[in-house]
Structure 1
Amino acid sequence: MSARDWYGDAVQQSTSHLRRRTGDLAAFAEIREVVRSNGQERGVRSLQIRNADGLEIEVLTDRAFDIGDVRYRGVPVSWRSGNGYRHPSLHEVESEDGLAWLRTLDGFLVSGGLDHALFGGEYDATHYHYPPKQTVRHGLHGRLSSLPARLLSVDEEWQENGGVLRVRGEVVQATSFGEHLRLRRTIEVDVFGSGFRIDDEVENLGFERTPHMFLYHINVGWPVVDEGSEFHGAIQRHVWKSDSVDEQGAPHDRLIAPERHFVEQVWEHELSAGQDGRHRVALLRSDGNFGVEIDWDASAMPHFFEWQNLREGQYGVGLEPSTHHVSGEAAAREDGSMIWLEHGESRTYRTSITLLDGPEATAAARSRVQSISRKEATA
């Protein structure tokens, strides 16, 4: 039963209706500031956002303003790896041959960037004009997720018809004689609704020409991820797939049950954009009762990966919009597709996530994706 079923139609029309029935609108929707106090998460600040329709998301202030837990009407949506939301002081971004990023991988959104994403390596750094620094070494998906954010604002904008819960933060990734990039992130949740929006701006504050790569590792877990769950996207072609796909044979569009020792499978799908210029994908339970839909600006993040981690105890799927191909930084530098930001230049990214509750909602999402595929087929 939805919140509106309990509150009545008037709740959609008038905030004054609610004010007459409570002494504090936080009874229905609020943003709560929390600091964890135990274990590896001790000291991690977060913002818990809860709206009147039962949507709850957690913004991890000290984890690059990424998103941890997501629930809708009590149903968990985000994937949990077991790592926990470790305090950034515990991260060792250059250890384990560049794979230490995997110790930060937990929750709904883990961002990759800002000057590097995808697999690591050693790259030319002469563009920084510092003779002792001829090269720079990057680990998997860069340094961003291990950086704490600065909280800029918390706003609960109650309007006569609904309103918006909004938080803003910024993360600066900088080093002397190297990159000086700033991410400003705004996350909005409508007081009533089943979705939220992420608006990002990345700006080069430095005076040296700087590479920029950006990726959203959006991680979904059980019960959305389950045997028979379906992936939907307007796929033109499969650009790339990991060797494990041929070895294991799990399909990209229908999930298998958790499997012992499953090796992650990664696909790069070339997607068609809708008439609105946005890519759109959906992950739906086979029974049609629940799902997640994601849409984003196709020109800003033209590439997309599907990460299948269907191992027992790690069971989840990553839906990953990206600025660059899976081939990574070396290939992007060689073929000219690397994004370079001069001083003061910036790029913006706008993404929407909608949680789909019930057969009507999942059917509508499936139809939206299929309409893009049909348009492409007749073009």
Structure 2
Amino acid sequence: MLKTLATAITALSCTAAVADDITVTDVTGRQVTLNTPAERVILGEGRQIYLLGILEPEAPFAHVVGWREDFSQADPDNYARYLERFPDLESIPTFGGFKDGTFDVEQAASLTPDVVLMNLEAKAATEDAAYNDKLAQLGIPIVYVDFREDPIEHTIPSMRLMGQIMGEEEAAEAFIAFAEEQLARVTDVISEANPDRPSVFIDRAGGYSDECCMSFGAANFGEYVTLAGGTNIAEDIIPGSFGNLNPEQIIAANPDHVVVTGGNWDAYVPGGDWVGMGPGSDMQRARAKLEALTERTAMTGIQAVEEGNFHAIWHQFYNSPYYFVAVQQLAKWFHPELFEDLDPEATMQELHERFLPIDYEPGYWVTLNDE
């Protein structure tokens, strides 16, 4: 172990000689000094490639020397498309998670990274396991980003931060301008029109388990609902970003709309009742599974079911920098008369064409209201 650590420190010292030291402030407010542009990066979550794919679309894995093995399981449809274009990604060493205590510090040291990018939600577990201290002893900085706990507040600072670290500030600013412009196409209209706000229940990963129902508090998809001109029924019930409502609470709230978040979760719950959303989804099958979810006890007699305002949307909008597309689609469902000319499909297409290394394929949302 000591020999491994000594080798890692020597390699890091050699790398530092050809890079510039800068001090950045991460999303937790920590000031971190590191060598940039980073040439060797460990991703504490595989889905951070959503960010790197925007910054370095021609070679998003060029500087990734290790990553957590979650992308292939949580979003296998997009993983397959990245793998098809970048087959070398299969050779990148994978790690367990910081949160579940399976991260291997010695393995990380042997890869001599310039930085470890960690998601904000893993901070407490990282500190509890003293991973931060162990990595600091090796001269390996941790930088925290966030596009899950509070994506509206933190996604743009996270993108700007990663632009600094990777030496891709111009690419970061181009995406930020696009994201802000696309979000404003909803928020400006809602602000001016000040419409009546329909009540909305966000059914987080509906059908993933037999329990009902997971949802969102005031943040994440809960905030997407607010920005899109709706009222999240769980906002005053769930104190944090994520939590649960019981069937009685949902029935009593009698929401005007239900939005189920869905994905391809065969890796976790093979053949489950979840709604398969994502690129290339079988929309007929997704619609049938969505309709089956209206039969649950929690949906008994509610307005959303009676009027067909029952929808599903790609779950990973909650954990990606593409949140503004979700807000557009929600607004389209909640206020079709205000957003008749808004085309979230075209926004998603432009996002892929301008910023991402893979082609766009439909399949990110479906509704039982065919009007």
Short-chain TM bin? under 0.3
If each structure's strand is expressed as a fraction of its own residues, which one has the higher value?
1
Higher relative contact order (CA 8 A, sep 6+): 2
- The two structures have a TM-score, normalised by structure 1, of 0.28
Q: What is the TM-score when the length of structure 2 is the normalising length?
A: 0.28
Which of the two has greater helix per residue?
2
